[in-house]
Structures are given as structure tokens and as C-alpha cells.
Amino acid sequence: MLELKNIHFSYNKEPFIDDLNIKISNGEMVSVLGPNGSGKSTVVKILTGEMKPGHGTVHLEGSDIHSIPIRELAQRLSVMTQNAGINFPYTCLEVVQMGLYPHKDLGVGIDSKEVEEIFELMEKTETHEFAEKLITEVSGGEAQRVLLTRILAQNTPVIVLDEAFSAMDVAHRVDMLRIMKKQVQRKNKSVIAVMHDLNMAYLFSDRVILMKSGNVFAEGLTDEVMTPDNLYHVFGIRVTKIDGKGFLIETN
Amino acid sequence: MSELTSGISASVRRRQKLHITIGIALFLLLIFTVLFSVGMGRADLTPDIVSRVIISKMMGVESWVSDIPDFQQAIVWNVRVPRIFSAVLIGAGLAVSGAIFQSILRNPLADPYTIGVSTGAAFGAAIAIFLNIFTKLYLPVTPFALIGAFGSLTLVITIARKNGVISSTNLIIAGIIVGSILSAGISFLKSAAGENVAAIVHWLMGSLASRSWGHVMLLLPFIVIGCGISIQYASRLDIMSLGEREARHLGVDPQKTMRLYLLVASCMTAVCVSVGGIIGFVGLIVPHMIRFGLTSRNAILIPLSTIAGGILLLMADNISRILFNVEVPVGVLTTLLGGPFFIWLFMKSGKGRT
């Protein structure tokens, strides 16, 4: 369980986030939605312990996230960031293997059983087809799938995804979300995903946090929060909701 | 496991074997080059004399070489061998610190000189030489170069550190600023030295001529410990090369690791430059070639860079001392040959794979 309490945060002394409270339980997938600049990435940085809020606390399973050593934190919480551009020619397989790093002792190599597990994960995400290709040479969507596979290899109870699906084609986006959902349902993990795709968020989330200019505009069960009215207030667009299926966006 | 996956795992194994084979081949080539180099030189010494001198010195048996004149023994043991060891150690040190700087600065085109440590060393050396010209103090150049290197490193880190955090971008910027100022300082000393400028210029060009056992003993601990640490923590370096945020998320403390490697790589660079002057391109080309030709994994990249760097600088030094009538400083040679080679490599790789 990840809990943010009374978070206040300022950029250059200008208050940006004002009394934010978020609670994410085990076994649920929570999406964070909101327009650009509404504070989604800031929230990600706060809830992963990267940034310290001016006020308030972040607790992971009851302990203050800033008191957890970096290595231990990486065993309990994994993060896929936006634009995790890799400049160096590692193979996709090597990138996925790095997910094991927090669990390995220094100088210990990867044994054959672990290699097999990595291959299984890569088959699941269909990244095995380009396992030997360089991460610098695959497409943006493929690279995102590789990084998501690394998240699976890191195998943490809490997973934070910051626009992890943005460059994927629609079929792979659905596949990867299904895989993440299974992690939630079968392994009782928590997934927090910042997303832009309203339909995907609607179809896969248990709960939704709707953000607007640094604050939570609405929060709760997906169906209750994702209403045409709320979406209009946050995004300024008119949508038609088809219950249980998704949204049609009206362009005029 | 599917057919495709077992195909991949077979190819991964093949690649591991290839890396090991290349490692062994390079190591044998290094030993061969060292032996070959001792035999080469202006003084005509037979392989018999060379091998007997080396073996007797190493085993401490003087009687084996009683028939060889002292000056021939001295050429082998006090001139050629330390120079060759210096070349191998400096080549290895520069290549490994290049690989480290590339990873911690997240820039495959970084080299040991990117953050200005070498210019600091050159400045220190220039001061010592300058004072020697005008005061007859006979200051030793190498310690001054070392002080200059560490002084500039401290300055660069102090400038780059903001709110207790050192970022790779700030390091590069601070390195460029400090480097420029010190370069201007060197130019000032050169112009103030007037007609004696040659002594400074010559040191700056980078040369391994007349390096002694003292130099080897100075290099040895730094290079051995530096390479050892980098190989031991190679996987941490892989993770660092993904960037500070990613490193954190994978359980590596980016600041601690940055500091450790900055210190290791800068110490190696400082000692190399203090002993050999500024020898360009070895620290860029060796890790770059292995990275793009073979693998980015530091667990393989660093040991291979160690050996390949040693071979490359030794070969370059052989050319510089033998091929021409007048000895060409090896630093000039490595840049003269390394530069165009790098251009070729860069253009061939195409597709923006920098």
C-alpha cells in the first residue's frame, strides 16, 4: 500500500500542489489522468520518493519512503519514466536483465534459471523477437515494451508507470495493459499509471485520479469519476460515454 | 521455451564465447607486443641478450649476464622496459577512465579529458617547467602535474555541485570552463617563457621518452586499483549510464556512485597525464570501438579496454620511437592517427549511432 498524506509542493516558492491525499491499495490498478502541466509527473516524482514534498508524508507499507535505502526501495517499487532515453548500445535483452539488479549481490552474474525467466517474460511481451537488437535501434513503442518487460523482471509489489504506453500501437497497448492487469489481479500488486488514453484508462483501471492544476479534481471508482462532465471540466472537451466500452470524443 | 527463444539463447552463448575468445587473443597479443617491443630500438640488441637481461633481472641472478656489457643491460632494463610498462599502463588507464567517463557522463563521446583534469595536470606541469627555467629550482614535473590535476578536479566538482547534487551536465560545463581558463594560463606561461618555450611545449605534446621505474611504480597502484574497482562494480556502471533517475529506480545511489567513479577515473587520468603528458584519443577510441563493435556491458568492455588500450599505446610508442629519424611525441602521433580513424569510424557507423 502506498499512501500520500497532506502533500504540499512548491516550484520556486510558488505553491503548485496543495494538500494532496492519495491512497493506493494492494491489488488495484489506479490511473492518473489530467491535462499537460496538471502535476501528474510531479505526483509521480513525489510518490516514488524522488522529490521531497515541502509538507506531508509518503508511506510505503507503513514506512516513510525517504527512510527506505535506495536499493531496498528498488526491490519494493519499480518505476518506468517518460523519455527514459538510453544513449548506449545495449541489447534489449541486456536492458531487461538490468531489472534483476536490485535483487542481485555485487559481482554475482545472472544464472541460467534467471536467464530462462527473463526469456519467458520477453516471450510474454513479445519482445523476444528483437531481444538481440540494440535498444538504440528499435522503435519507440518497442523500446517502451522492453522497459515494461524490465519492470516485470524487477518484480516489485508496487509499479509506477509514467506514460509507459504512449508510443505503442493500439494492439500492443492493450496487450501490455492486460499483462499489467494480471500482475494486479493474480499477484496482488499495485499499479499506478499516468495515462493520456481515456479509453484505455477506462477499460483497465479500478480507480481513477483526475488531476487539474496541481490538485485532485475527482477521485474514485473509474465509472464514477470518468463522467462526461468531469472530463469536460478537466480537459475542456465534450465526450459521449458508452457505458462499459469507452468514450467518443466530439470535435465540434 | 519457444524455438525462437532457444535460438536467441544459443546466440547469446555464442556471443559470450566470442567475448572470451577476443579477450584471450588480445591478452596474447599484448604479451607478444611487449616482448617484441623490448627487442626493438636503435641500439642493436639480439633477442638472446634481451631475454637474458630480463630473466636475470627478474630472478635476481647476476651471473647469467656477466658477459653482457653494462650499457646494454641498462638499455634493456632501465630504458626500454620501464618505457614499455609505462606505455601499457598509461594506455590501459586512459582507455578505462574513458569508458568510465562515458558511462557517468552518459555520453559515448566523452573521454578522460572532457572534465578538464588533463588541462589541470598540464597547467601544473607548465608551472613547474616555467619555474625550473627561471629559478633553477629543479622542481620535479610529475608531482606538480598531479597537484594540478587534483586541484582542477576539486574545482570542477565544487562548481558542478548544486544543492549537494552533481549532475553530468554540470560536470561537463564546469569542466569546459575550468579547462578553458587553465588553457589560457598555460598560454600565458608559454608566452612568458619567451625563447625557452620549447620545454613546456614538448611536455604538453605527450611523450614517453626516458620514463623510469619510478614512473612505473607511480602508475602501477593507481591503474591496478582503478581497473580493479571498475571491473568489480561494472554492472553498477551499466546502470549509471542509463541516467540518474533510472539508476535510482534500479537501486543504485546515483550521487554516491558518481563520486566513486569520478574519483577513480580522475585519479587514473591524473597519473597518466602526469607521467606521459597529454596523449589524445586513446581514451576515446578504445572504449568507443569496443562499445559499438562488441558490447556496452562494462563487465566485458572494461577488461577488454584495459588490454586494448595497453596494446594501442605501446604500438603507437614503438612507431614514435623507431619509425622516424627524429622521435615524434607519441601524443602527437595518437591524435594524428586516431583523429582520422575516429572520423572514419564515426561516418561508417552512420544512422546517428553516436
**Measured distance CA(B2)–CA(A249) in Å, rounded:** 42
Contact B8 A137 (CB under 8 A): no
The sign of the CA dihedral B176, B308, B211, B206 is negative
Average pLDDT over residues B73-88: 91
Contact B252 A101 (CB under 8 A): yes
Count of residues for chain A? 252
Residue B4 lies in a domain: no
Contact A93 B12 (CB under 8 A): yes
**For B330-344, what is each residue's pLDDT tens digit?**
888 888 888 888 888
**Binding-site residues on chain B for chain A (CB distance < 8 A):** 1-2, 4-5, 8-9, 11-12, 102-103, 106-108, 232-233, 235-236, 238-239, 241-243, 245-246, 248-253, 291-292, 296-297, 351, 353
The beta strand positions in B183-228, using DSSP E, are none
- Cα-Cα-Cα-Cα torsion B220, B225, B231, B235, nearest 10 degrees, comes to -150
Residue B6 lies in a domain: no
Residue B327, sorted as left (phi over 0), alpha (psi -120 to 50) or beta, turns out to be beta
Provide the chain A residues 76-115 that lie in CB contact (below 8 A) with chain B.
78-79, 81, 84-90, 93-94, 98-99, 101-102, 104, 106-107, 115
Q: The CATH number of the domain where B272 resides is what?
A: 1.10.3470.10
- B2 pLDDT above the threshold of 80: no
Residue B350 confidence (pLDDT): 56
Residue A106 confidence (pLDDT): 60
Residue B114 confidence (pLDDT): 83
- Nearest CA among B23, B91, B11 for reference residue B300: B23
Average pLDDT over residues B245-272: 91
- Shortest distance, CA A241 to any CA of chain B (angstroms): 37
Residue B292 confidence (pLDDT): 87
pLDDT band at B353 (very low <50, low <70, confident <90, very high): very low
- Nearest CA among A210, A203, A209 for reference residue A181: A203
Residue B354 confidence (pLDDT): 41
pTM of the predicted structure, to 2 decimals = 0.90
- B346 pLDDT above the threshold of 80: no
Would you write out chain A's pLDDT as a tens digit for each of its 252 residues? 899 998 888 888 888 888 888 899 999 999 999 999 888 988 999 999 998 888 899 999 989 999 999 999 999 999 998 766 788 899 999 999 999 999 886 656 677 788 888 999 999 999 999 999 999 899 999 999 999 999 999 999 999 999 999 889 999 999 999 999 999 999 999 999 999 999 999 999 999 999 998 888 999 999 999 999 999 999 999 999 998 899 999 887
Q: How much of chain B, in percent, has pLDDT values that exceed 90?
A: 43
ipTM: 0.91
In total, how many domains does chain B have?
A: 1
> Between B11, B107, B353, which is nearest A132 by CB?
B11
Helix B168-193 and helix B117-135: axis angle, to 10°? Answer: 20
Residue B27 confidence (pLDDT): 96
Q: Nearest-CA residue of chain A relative to B15?
A: A132
Burial A147-169 (b: 16+ CB within 10 A, else e): bbbbbbbbbbbbbbbbbbbbebe
> Between B12, B238, B245, which is nearest A98 by CB?
B238
3-state DSSP assignment of residue B67: coil
Burial of B90 (0-12, 13-18, 19+ CB in 10 A): buried
**For B275-285, what is each residue's pLDDT tens digit?**
998 898 899 99
- Shortest distance, CA A231 to any CA of chain B (angstroms): 32
Q: Which residues of A touch B245 (CB under 8 A)?
A: 50, 81, 84
Contact B248 A71 (CB under 8 A): no
pLDDT band at B286 (very low <50, low <70, confident <90, very high): very high
Instruction: Output the average pLDDT for chain B.
Output: 88
Q: Which residues of B touch A122 (CB under 8 A)?
A: 5
3-state DSSP assignment of residue A35: coil
- B214 pLDDT above the threshold of 80: yes
Average pLDDT over residues B342-352: 70
Residue B352 confidence (pLDDT): 45
- Shortest distance, CA A215 to any CA of chain B (angstroms): 25
- Shortest distance, CA B233 to any CA of chain A (angstroms): 7
Burial of A201 (0-12, 13-18, 19+ CB in 10 A): buried
Using alpha carbons only, give the angle B291, B293, B298 rounded to the nearest 5 degrees. Answer: 25
- Shortest distance, CA A15 to any CA of chain B (angstroms): 20
Q: Report yes or no: A116 and A96 within 8 Å, Cβ to Cβ.
A: no
The CATH homologous superfamily for domain A2-83+157-250 is P-loop containing nucleotide triphosphate hydrolases (3.40.50.300)
The sign of the CA dihedral B305, B311, B316, B320 is positive
The domain containing residue B155 runs over which residues?
82-349
Residue B184 lies in a domain: yes
Residue A107 confidence (pLDDT): 57
Cα-to-chain-centroid distance, residue B11: 33
Q: Nearest-CA residue of chain B relative to A106?
A: B233
Find which of A78, A79, A87, A113 to mutate to test the B interface (most B CBs within 10 Å of its CB).
A87
